[in-house]
Amino acid sequence: MTVGLSLDEARKAGHNIQTGLFPFQANGRAMTMERDDGIVRVVARADNHVILGIQAVGAGISELSAAFAQAVEMGARLEDIAATIHAHPTLGEGFAEASMKALGHALHV
């Protein structure tokens, strides 16, 4: 699933970007589902951390589509997602972890 700009689209648009990629091999819910083959990647502007796009694949990822769309639509920053408490164990933690990784503060990777 892709929401907003892809990595290539953001670069072609002239944005200086930073990304965070979180593999579901490090996500508790994905492990309990025995479906840890997915990822969440966040693409954000490097200057102000506004999220430009999110790409994700994996079992159950469609459940996160509203959260991804809302983040892009509202102009969320990486810090907004990283500071939001995500229930454990859920796939949604992957969104927070990808944002934290983009900021250099990943917990589980």
Residue 66: both structure tokens together: 């509203």
Residue 3 and residue 108: Cα distance in Å, rounded? Answer: 24
88 classed as catalytic: yes
Residue 90 and residue 32: Cα distance in Å, rounded? Answer: 10
Residue with tokens 């810090």, as numbered in its chain: 79
**Which entry of 15, 49, 86, 88 is annotated as an active-site residue?**
88
Q: Which residues are marked as active site?
A: 88
